[in-house]
Amino acid sequence: MKEHWDSLKKSLPIIIFFVFSVLFYGPLSLYLPNAEELWFRIGEVLKIVSVISLIAALCMSLFFFVLPEKISSFFRKLLFGGALGFYVQGNLIPVSYGSGVLDGSAIDWGAYKTYALINTGIWVICILLPFVLAWIMRNKKGLITRVLIIASLFLTAIQIPAMISQFLSYHPNVNANVSIKKEGMFDYSDRENVIMFMLDTYDEAYFDQFIEEEPTFTDSLTGFVHYDNTLSAGAKTIVAVPAMFTGKPFKRENTYSEYLEDVWGQDNVLSVMHDHGYDVRVYSETMLYSDDVINYVSNFTTEGAKVGSYFTLAKKLYKLDLFKFLPHVLKKRFTFDTAEFQKAKSDTEYILNDKSDASTIASFRKKGLSVSDDQEKVFILYHMFGAHSKYKLSREGKLVSSSNVHDQCAGCMVFVKEVLEEMKAKGVYDDATIIITADHGDKNKGEHPIFLLKLPGSTEAYRTSKAPVSLFDVAVFLTNIVGYTLPDQEFGTDFLALDEDEVRERHFFYNTSGNSRVVINEFATTSDASDEENLEKINTFEDVNGPDTPYVLGTELYFTTEATANRYCIEGWGTNTGFRTKLRGPYTRMDIPIQDLPETGNLSVHYGLYYRGKKEKEYIVYANGEEVGRGTITHADEKEGINFDVPVASFKDSNILTIEFEFPWVSKDEMEMPAKSRTQTISFTDMIINWDNE
């Protein structure tokens, strides 16, 4: 028995080295730097790695405990050699493989033949090293065991500071705290229902084509009026949705998040419906709402996304872990797309993406409508992916690998038809208020969406109206249902009172594409919504803090919808997509006025980076006319971003920090082209400038 305990004591440090490096810290080292992009929390990862590590350590300990010393001595050396190989592979010789590791893109394995040979050689050396050392030390009893124990403890210990550092810099996904439950999606009242289908990007032109192809579809639209002269409140989605349900457009008077807090914190469609006894359920995208909505939308929760299968999450986590630690020749089967983590998520959460419509349709076809007297009044908003790309919905409403916009539009309408038919079968159609619309259109500026309405008790045949409707009118109409007058409705009116030939000035707020500064242009028209040429720009709303706003050192700025960094963008910037801003062309410039510029030392500049490309992108960065950095960017550089120092001495007679990026691989002739036509290079998400006096 003593021999078995001695064998275990000699093996335990090596077991700890392997388990800590590969099974415990390995997954954490991948999760912590990427936590902002992942939906699950650190606590869930710790549960998984702790349980797996404990089980592995116990099994390995039992294995070494039962073996005779002569056999366990061999396996100790083998375990150390393997653990050393994993450690070297994961920490000293990692390769980015372009972007294929995390986004599922194909990796050109043939381009790594030389690396494969070198990598295999390194692994052979690591595995054979303890056996070679044992032969060299064969005349010194017990020395090889002491060497392996000391080396194992040392290599374990030196990883701990790195792990602590990553924990200290851990930034969780802030959007993961609010989630939308799927529950109740098809639970209707047996008395009063207000049902709204909001099909993202569904243009009036797409509906016209669909009706041409499927003329009998309108037979299902008993009581509906098709208002084919409807103007969007705004575009794109981040502008359109809050404006439609609050009546108040985003005018850049503050940041986007402050705007959301303001409009959702006041009376709006959802809060008014709730206050008048409706069970309000919204199936949409959390980024369009503030936390206030949780108080009056029953399926919004602060619980965050939940793990549906810890087994699946663990399997995916360790698949990514093995890609990092395995030798090159074994990596091919472990390439990974972070979308695979979605499979571990509880299916109780509503996620709006290119697969969500098919999922919603499948769920409806499986469960159907449930009608009960549990709630007297129900309001449900289905915000669907609609006509948005990527197209993955067939005409039959099923998920496919590739579709097109017209088939996807048809698939959405098939779902709408099936819901309407079941409402009729369940006896709740006639008394329901039903809206079929879009947040905005797709053609031109997205100004012409579909809009169809069925009022309670309406039994007439489907018809078309030319009344000049605005999606700003939705807020007025829905709150009128409960007899409430929503205040401060500058752009909305009671469209039911409009004549078909009425001349009305309507307004449309457009988040200009191709512009990094998130400029909102206000347009007005008295023409038909299909007449894009007669949209007259009457106002431009930019960041209330302009380019002359002094920058306070240590302030984090954003290239997101907040656009606090974009105010300083001068040249070479492309589209602000909402969570990043793209750079376009060979040259990019920012002018940043520094408040209280220090007299000595350096300014330390950090840019948060977003890059999913496969190829390395060469860049040179200048500050105040002097080169301060150059290099190449790959997807692996995302977590570090771009960092450089600017000597305070480089400031001459001004406090303006001019930062310029050059991309030598892009032709300089592109500077003669419009920004939106230039080559897209990389994207930035945030930036911060600190003072370094050392």
Neighbours of 46 (CB within 10 A): 14
Is it the case that residue 37 has pLDDT exceeding 70?
no
DSSP state for residue 203 in the 8-state scheme: B
The span from the CA of 560 to the CA of 578, in Å, is: 5
The span from the CA of 191 to the CA of 613, in Å, is: 53
- Write the DSSP string, 293-356: GGGT-TTEESS---BS-HHHHHHHHHHHHHHHHS-GGG-GGG--BGGGGGGGB-TTB---STTH
What mean pLDDT do residues 538-553 have? 90
Query: What is the SS3 assignment for 644?
Result: strand
Tell me the residue type at 469. Answer: V
The span from the CA of 678 to the CA of 514, in Å, is: 11
Phi, psi of 692 (to 5 degrees): -115, 110
Question: Tokens 């810290």 belong to which residue?
Answer: 25
What mean pLDDT do residues 507-514 have? 82
367: its two tokens: 């469960």
Residues with Cβ within 8 Å of residue 125, at least 6 apart in sequence: none
- 56-73 confidence digits (pLDDT tens): 999 999 988 888 877 888
- 444-480 confidence digits (pLDDT tens): 999 999 999 999 999 999 999 999 999 999 999 999 9
- 412-430 confidence digits (pLDDT tens): 999 999 999 999 999 999 9
The span from the CA of 107 to the CA of 97, in Å, is: 7
- 118-146 confidence digits (pLDDT tens): 989 999 999 999 999 989 888 887 898 89
Which of 102-116, 369-383, 484-498 has the weakest average pLDDT? 102-116
Does residue 463 contact residue 253 with C-beta atoms inside 8 Å? no
- 249-305 confidence digits (pLDDT tens): 999 888 888 899 999 999 999 999 999 999 999 999 888 898 889 999 999 987 666
Residues with Cβ within 8 Å of residue 77, at least 6 apart in sequence: 130, 131, 134, 144, 148
Q: What is the structure's pLDDT at 527?
A: 95
What is the H or E stretch that residue 152 is in? helix 143-157
Task: Assign 3-class secondary structure to 230-285.
Answer: EECCEECHHHHHHHHHHCCCCCCCCCHHHHHHHHHHCCCHHHHHHHCCEEEEEECC
Does residue 122 contact residue 353 with C-beta atoms inside 8 Å? no
Q: What is the structure's pLDDT at 233?
A: 97
- Name beta bridge partners: 604: 645, 690
Is it the case that residue 335 has pLDDT exceeding 80?
no
Residues with Cβ within 8 Å of residue 42, at least 6 apart in sequence: 31, 32, 35, 170, 172
Q: What is the structure's pLDDT at 484?
A: 94
Task: Quickly state the pLDDT bin for 210 (edges 50, 70, 90).
Answer: very high
Bigger pLDDT: 647 vs 343:
647
The span from the CA of 10 to the CA of 27, in Å, is: 27
Can you say how many angstroms the Cα of residue 605 is from the centroid of all Cα atoms in its chain? 25
Cis peptide leading into residue 251 (ω within 30°): no
Pick the CATH number of 179-304+349-525 from 3.10.20.740, 3.40.50.300, 3.40.720.10, 3.40.30.10: 3.40.720.10
- The CATH number assigned to the domain with range 557-692 reads 2.60.120.260
User: Mean pLDDT across the chain, nearest whole number?
Assistant: 89
Does residue 24 contact residue 45 with C-beta atoms inside 8 Å? no
Task: Quickly state the pLDDT bin for 99 (edges 50, 70, 90).
Answer: very low
Tell me the residue type at 95. Answer: V
DSSP state for residue 291 in the 8-state scheme: G
Q: What is the structure's pLDDT at 578?
A: 73
% residues pLDDT > 90 (the chain): 61
Task: Assign 3-class secondary structure to 572-630.
Answer: CEEEECCCCEEEECCEEEEEEEECCCCCCCEEEEEEEEECCCCCCEEEEEEECCEEEEE
Q: Closest by alpha carbon to 590, among 668, 665, 642?
A: 642
Q: With the C-alpha atoms ordered 460, 465, 471, 477, is the resulting torsion angle positive or negative?
A: negative
Bigger pLDDT: 638 vs 317:
317
Q: What is the structure's pLDDT at 374?
A: 86
What mean pLDDT do residues 204-219 have? 95
Q: Closest by alpha carbon to 514, among 592, 585, 565, 611?
A: 585
The span from the CA of 391 to the CA of 656, in Å, is: 46
For the entire predicted model, the pTM comes to 0.67
Domain boundaries, the chain: 2-177, 179-304+349-525, 557-692
Is it the case that residue 244 has pLDDT exceeding 80?
yes
The span from the CA of 313 to the CA of 40, in Å, is: 9
The span from the CA of 378 to the CA of 195, in Å, is: 8
Is it the case that residue 100 has pLDDT exceeding 60?
no
Cis peptide leading into residue 324 (ω within 30°): no
Tell me the residue type at 165. Answer: S
Q: What is the structure's pLDDT at 176?
A: 53
- 612-657 confidence digits (pLDDT tens): 676 788 999 999 999 999 999 887 777 788 999 999 999 988 999 9
Q: What is the structure's pLDDT at 531?
A: 93
Burial class for 313, CB neighbours closer than 10 Å (0-12, 13-18, 19+): buried
Q: What is the structure's pLDDT at 103?
A: 46
Q: What is the structure's pLDDT at 338?
A: 65
Bigger pLDDT: 96 vs 658:
658
